[in-house]
Amino acid sequence: MHKKSLTYHHHDGADGEIQARVLEALLEEAENLPCEATEIALARACDALVRVCPAARFASWHREDKTAGLLRPQYAAGTMAHAAQTLHAARLGRREAALCHPMPRAACARLIGIDASELAHWRTEGLAARVQSVISLDFRSSLGCEGGLIILGAGDNHFFEKGGVAAVLAFARLIEKSLAQVGANRQLADAASRDPLTGLYNRRRFLDVASAQHASSVACGQNYSVIIFDVDQLKYINEEYGYETGDALLKSLGSRIRELLAEDTTVARWSGEEFIALLPRTNETEAAFAAERLRQAIHDQPILNLLAGTVGVSAGVATSADRSALEHTIARATARLAQTRSPGPGASERRGQTRGDLYLLAQVRSALQTGRIRPAYQPIVDLATGAIVAEEALARLISSDGTKESPAGEFIETVTRFDLVHEIDAAIMRETLERCTAQYNAGTVRLHFVNMSAAFLKRPDFVGEVFGFIQEQCRSCGRDVTDPKPMVIEITEREFVQDTAAALAVLQPLLDLGLRLAIDDFGSGYSSFRYLVDLPVSFVKLEGELVRKIVHDRKARAVIQSMQRLADDLGLITVAEYVENEASRQILRDMGVRWGQGYLFGRPCVERPALRTSV
């Protein structure tokens, strides 16, 4: 509190006895002021002022409402308490203690900031209660957002002159010290509950807040949702740009998450590279929409000096179910996050990633947005007749100016390491389905082979999207959704070799739609005959490096011949890859291999529609 001036009529012979008595009583009351909460301390202070000051008619405290520009009444004591509680004091322009005498007068109204519209009512109440003088004590300078004003009214014209002013001001200073202690305690408690890097709540504080929200939601019969975000490329950014950049990235991401989610959302840093958010009164659809909107916003906008698309987040979403414990909801969100970021076979830990990796990642993300991840179609022919019977869709990255095509081999390792390969698969699948539909409507029936990675098949959201798109294309062709489709899913042996039951469970919905299954790179060193027993395989694609050797390597011919005999016994169609010369074609045909694919029959070719512009 700052005392700038006191305004009053001076009377000689101030009563020292009254001053001493009031001061002693107020000091005694000050010792009993609580140090826990501002509201309680100021209410007790009002009680003490009325109880100790013999001429006091009321004491009230008013909290500052910065939005409305008013000091709203919070508590009042004394014979005029009711009127004091209805008084909305205008925001003071000066931070000072102001003594007004006598009360009520227009000058007094200006000093304590009484709204002119309430002055008449205040005057009537004041006269009835015989209020003769008023002092206002401004605490806003010391309390900040908890700021406010104590107004004390006395029934004696000269009470404050007789000794009340010094005693009241001394008491006010003690109140300030008490409140300063409260503020310091709050700051310490807040610091202990905050993550020092991002300024968000830490895990412990989040669990406290979330537990209270859980109890409230259960009591009210409402749902809440939990989203856990993981920063996808933090490890590589730390290694390439340094940990200071990584820390700055986390801080920036924390601010962006806080800004993009609803105001009543509780956001915290959950672990080193994870954030967590609790969204009250939301169902799973609403929470999933919020998570996707945030994920897309982070992906699309550059952060720090990093290229747009370099930084991404994965998200796991779960909604409270009935009265299930908070820990169960968080555990389900964690499990779903793990599903979205399950690493592919090339995602092993690797040190020394180059800036080129992150640049390439940004290029691929941009290409996905603008339709520059395109399928290149390579023909598959019948080795006996030379007729084209099928084609394989191979991913290509088209440069932004359209002048260069990069084969999958130049970027697939990077996108796999950064868990982006499922998006490549989805883009190629959609394009191939549209081509398949167009050819069918034009009277051309040809099989279309499309690669599907394990990472794609572990994403139920992407599998569901493809499932729906296949049904849509069937309707546009006028075909029943259960009819056999000219689409073949290629999976590589090594993708699911440890769990064929899990592979079949994921593939079954697509197989039920009439798609067929091919094993790619059969004989590449990861061979598992369990696939041929446990999965409804229709095609076996013979590993290309073996095929290349058959002209000059007797062992290679023997291996392929044994594979062909097995395929014949199981009723499977074999497809030889990397057929590059006529001699190889003749040998393969004589062995009984049915189909062939390679440069001898045609190179992969990209159809170039108009490129889309990123929105």
pLDDT at residue number 36: 53
Give whichever of 27-41, 49-63, 165-179 has the largest mean pLDDT: 49-63
**Region 361-373: what's the mean pLDDT?**
82
Q: Helices 421-441 and 460-477 meet at what angle, rounded to 10?
A: 10
User: What span, in angstroms and rounded, lies between the C-alpha atoms of 442 and 454?
Assistant: 33
**Region 190-205: what's the mean pLDDT?**
87
Give every strand in the sheet of 266-271, ordered side by side. Answer: 266-271, 274-280, 224-231, 313-319
User: What span, in angstroms and rounded, lies between the C-alpha atoms of 247 and 253?
Assistant: 10
pLDDT bracket for residue 432 (50, 70, 90): very high
Where are the domains positioned within the chain?
16-190, 203-340, 371-606
What are the tens digits of pLDDT across the range 135-161? 777 665 444 445 567 788 787 777 766
CATH architecture, range 371-606: Alpha-Beta Barrel (3.20)
Q: Rg of the chain over CA atoms, in angstroms? A: 38
Q: Which two tokens stand for residue 283?
A: 């169902």
Helix (H, G, I), strand (E, B) or coil at 24: helix
User: What span, in angstroms and rounded, lies between the C-alpha atoms of 526 and 522?
Assistant: 8
Give whichever of 27-41, 410-424, 569-583 has the largest mean pLDDT: 569-583
**Region 107-123: what's the mean pLDDT?**
43
Task: Tell whether the model's pLDDT for residue 7 goes beyond 70.
Answer: no
- Spatial neighbors of 72 by CB under 8 A, at least 6 apart, are 62, 63, 65, 88
User: What span, in angstroms and rounded, lies between the C-alpha atoms of 409 and 398?
Assistant: 14
CA distances from 237 to 318, 345, 531 (A): 29, 21, 39
Place of tokens 């969204």: 279
Tell me the H-state helices in 129-233: 140-143, 165-192, 203-220
pLDDT bracket for residue 110 (50, 70, 90): very low
- CATH, domain range 203-340: 3.30.70.270
Q: Which two tokens stand for residue 244?
A: 């200071």
**Region 94-108: what's the mean pLDDT?**
34
Structural contact between residues 611 and 371, judged by C-beta atoms closer than 8 angstroms? yes
- Spatial neighbors of 445 by CB under 8 A, at least 6 apart, are 439, 486
Neighbours of 270 (CB within 10 A): 22
User: What span, in angstroms and rounded, lies between the C-alpha atoms of 51 and 32?
Assistant: 14
User: What span, in angstroms and rounded, lies between the C-alpha atoms of 401 and 483?
Assistant: 41
Give every strand in the sheet of 56-65, ordered side by side. Answer: 89-90, 70-78, 56-65, 148-154, 133-138, 98-100
Task: Tell whether the model's pLDDT for residue 476 goes beyond 70.
Answer: yes
For residue 350, how far is the Cα from the chain centroid? Answer: 27
Q: Express the helix, strand and coil content of the chain in percent, nearest 5 each.
A: 50, 20, 30
Beta strands 537-542 and 516-522 are: parallel
Q: Which residue, 462, 414, 427, 453, is CA-closest to 232?
A: 414
pLDDT at residue number 468: 86
Higher pLDDT, 189 or 423: 423
**Region 226-250: what's the mean pLDDT?**
83
User: What span, in angstroms and rounded, lies between the C-alpha atoms of 427 and 105?
Assistant: 78
Place of tokens 């008449």: 120
Higher pLDDT, 88 or 580: 580
Q: Which residue, 392, 322, 337, 369, is CA-closest to 575?
A: 392
Task: Tell whether the model's pLDDT for residue 114 goes beyond 70.
Answer: no
Beta strands 56-65 and 70-78 are: antiparallel
- For the 16-190 domain, the top CATH level (class) is alpha beta
What are the tens digits of pLDDT across the range 459-471? 777 888 888 888 8
Task: Tell whether the model's pLDDT for residue 551 goes beyond 50.
Answer: yes
Place of tokens 């009439």: 514
Task: Tell me the backbone φ, ψ of residue 418, rounded to 5 degrees.
Answer: -95, 15
Higher pLDDT, 496 or 105: 496
Higher pLDDT, 170 or 58: 58
Task: Tell me the backbone φ, ψ of residue 525, rounded to 5 degrees.
Answer: 115, -10
